[in-house]
Amino acid sequence: MIYSKITGTGSYLPEKILSNLDLEKMFETTDEWITTRTGIKERHIVSAHQYTSDLAVEASKQAIEASGIDSNKIDLIIVATTTPDKIFPSTACIVQTKLGLSLCPAFDIQAVCSGFVYALSVADKFIKTGSAKCVLVIGADTMSRITDYSDRSNAILWGDGGGAVILEASDQPGILSTHIHADGSYEKLLHVPSGVSHQKGKSTIEMQGNQVFKIAVNTLDSIVDETLEMNQLDKSDIDWLVPHQANIRILEATAKKLNMSMDRVIVTIDRHGNTSAASIPLALDTAIREHKIKRGETLLMEAFGGGFTWGSALIKY
Ligand code: COA
């Protein structure tokens, strides 16, 4: 049996911090309102000349170093992002060149906040079929570039960042299962109306926050059941929940579903905000570097995002 094993993680946050107190100066809101409704205290924002690929590259350097691999071993690069540097080439191709990696397939995946779980799922299948042995999987987003800072219920949520993992083929258990889903009929509840081919409407995020909230909680409930059932595991078998960081109240609802105390949930939303595809690898790397998550522990990652898309990954770390 071939498994995909996470052998190194890395993350990167831009220097500039946008705190709730900064937002109080931009529109009518309060630190108290934002903290109570979302759990967010601050988020990092890119500078004018910083791009998604820059965040991805810094996170990847750390992941490569942590894994101890020769970077020439990387035989596939996948970047999950909704905010690519350019329409084309893909951010993955730009990252390949910036890191000076050897020629290998490189492509982007777009599943918004579920992007990292989607990318992990695809990378796992490349490894399980023997098509790749060492994959650089990145989640990176510059959500500030598509945020309307005059829409206060929306602008408070988003942050920028990048996270990366090195996945290597192993005979030791690693990724145990991945589960990905989508339902495009919810497009209008969370979207950027204008794009490349469709050039009508705003080019910033529009969201029906309270509706998204309710559907997210119910959907994450069902993905947790699906993951546990497929692996014939009990809730108590999960050591850590590593969730997409969308809203502390969504995280608390999933923890409750798992009968898990919040100290077994990796929470970075207070410091990072919602960094979309970057949020899970950022949370994972932060928890590993803070010596919370240890080798041999069982991790459940889950995410929900625009599309709607959703998914999970069960991992023996
Ligand atoms: N500061 C102060 N008041 C605000 C505010 C802000 N930043 N944003 C909205 N409000 C006000 C609204 O104007 C409204 O006032 P009213 O009752 O006088 O009309 C009130 O707060 C409630 O607004 P509502 O939009 O219903 O707030 P909410 O409780 O749903 O919270 C979100 C808004 C966005 C925090 C919440 O819906 C949410 O987190 N949803 C999930 C979104 C998400 O995670 N999306 C990404 C998925 S990957």
Structure confidence by residue, pLDDT tens digits, 59-103: 999 999 999 999 999 999 999 999 999 999 999 999 999 999 999
Rounded CA separation 294/262 (Å): 17
Top mutation candidate among 21, 41, 153 for ligand 1, by most atoms within 8 Å of CB: 153
What's residue 307's pLDDT?
Answer: 97
pLDDT tens for 242-267 read: 999 999 999 999 999 889 999 999 99
Contact yes or no for 46/162 (Cβ under 8 A) = no
Q: Cα–chain-centroid distance for residue 297?
A: 20
Rounded CA separation 59/105 (Å): 19
What's residue 95's pLDDT?
Answer: 98
Compute the distance from residue 214 Cα to the ligand 1 centre, in Å.
13
Rounded CA separation 83/140 (Å): 8
Asked whether 212 lines ligand 1 (CB < 6 A), one says yes
Compute the distance from residue 215 Cα to the ligand 1 centre, in Å.
15
pTM value is 0.97
Nearest to 238 by CA among 178, 177, 298: 298
Q: Where do the domains of the chain lie, and which CATH numbers do they carry?
A: 3-170 (3.40.47.10), 175-316 (3.40.47.10)
Rounded CA separation 193/164 (Å): 29
Mean pLDDT, to the nearest integer, of 150-163? Answer: 97
Compute the distance from residue 278 Cα to the ligand 1 centre, in Å.
23
Q: How confident is the model at residue 164 (pLDDT cuts 50, 70, 90)?
A: very high
Asked whether 145 lines ligand 1 (CB < 6 A), one says no
Ligand 1 atom nearest residue 209's Cα = 37
What's residue 252's pLDDT?
Answer: 96
State the catalytic residues: 113, 244, 274
Compute the distance from residue 156 Cα to the ligand 1 centre, in Å.
9
**Whole-number percent of the chain with pLDDT over 70:** 100
Residue environment code for 123-145, b if the CB has 16+ CB neighbours within 10 A, otherwise e:
bbebbeeeebbbbbbbbbbbbbe
Q: How confident is the model at residue 52 (pLDDT cuts 50, 70, 90)?
A: very high
What's residue 203's pLDDT?
Answer: 97
Asked whether 152 lines ligand 1 (CB < 6 A), one says yes
* Atom 9 (ligand 1) nearest CA: 153
pLDDT tens for 13-45 read: 999 999 999 999 999 999 999 999 999 999 999
**Whole-number percent of the chain with pLDDT over 90:** 99
Positive or negative torsion for Cα 34, 35, 38, 43? positive
What's residue 12's pLDDT?
Answer: 98
